[in-house]
């Protein structure tokens, strides 16, 4: 499991069980992002989200938060 917070306050987490990614603007309700198998997450100053997969691959998520 990993946690990151964007400059605008959005909370990002990866789940330990399946590596899925969730985010929340309030910390109360979380939205699942497509994809799974991630272990690390980071957010840049530009609000782009970077996730590292269990296999070492690097993925970039852009608004509306889909992987590219």
The pLDDT of residue 64? 65
pLDDT(1) > 60: yes
pLDDT(65) > 70: no
Output the average pLDDT for the chain: 90
Type and span of the H or E element at 11 = strand 11-14
CB 1, CB 15: distance < 8 Å? yes
Residue 29 CB contacts under 8 Å (≥ 6 apart), including other chains: none
- Mapping DSSP to helix (H, G, I), strand (E, B) and coil, where does residue 1 land? coil
Mean pLDDT of 25-31: 92
pLDDT(54) > 70: yes
pLDDT-derived band at 67 (thresholds 50, 70, 90) equals: low
């Amino acid at each position: 499991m990993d946690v990151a917070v964007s400059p605008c306050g959005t909370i990002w987490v990866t789940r330990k069980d399946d590596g899925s990614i969730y985010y929340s603007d309030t910390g109360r309700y979380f939205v699942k992002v497509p994809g799974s198998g991630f272990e690390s997450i980071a957010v840049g100053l530009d609000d782009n989200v970077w996730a590292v997969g269990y296999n070492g691959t690097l993925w970039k998520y852009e608004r509306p938060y889909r992987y590219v």
